[in-house]
Amino acid sequence: MILIKIDQGIGAGIVLDGRPLYGDGFAAGETGHVVVAKDGPLCVYGNRGCLETLTSTRALLPCR
């Protein structure tokens, strides 16, 4: 099972064979930093075109 949460960031919780999947450095669900646009906007971690930078609520909703 995979639960994807989209908010100010994008992350996921993964359950495999009834147990949480943590991955290396507890990063198994860090889907927000997958690069989806090679020349996209700069991410807070220095990458360009991360999913989170393009599609999180922070990216889509105007600042208040």
Domain ranges of the chain: 2-60
Do 12 and 6 form a contact (C-beta atoms < 8 A)? no
* 5-64 pLDDT, tens digit each: 999 889 999 999 999 999 999 889 989 999 999 999 999 889 999 999 999 998 898 765
Q: What is the pLDDT of residue 17?
A: 96
pTM of the model: 0.75
Q: 2-60: which CATH topology?
A: Nucleotidyltransferase; domain 5 (3.30.420)
Report the C-alpha gap between 39 and 27 in whole angstroms: 24
Question: Please, are residues 33 and 44 in contact by the beta-carbon 8 Å criterion?
Answer: no
**C-alpha angle 55/13/38, rounded to 5°?**
35
Distances (CA, A) of 21 to 4, 7, 28, 42: 14, 21, 7, 29
pLDDT at residue 61 in the model = 87
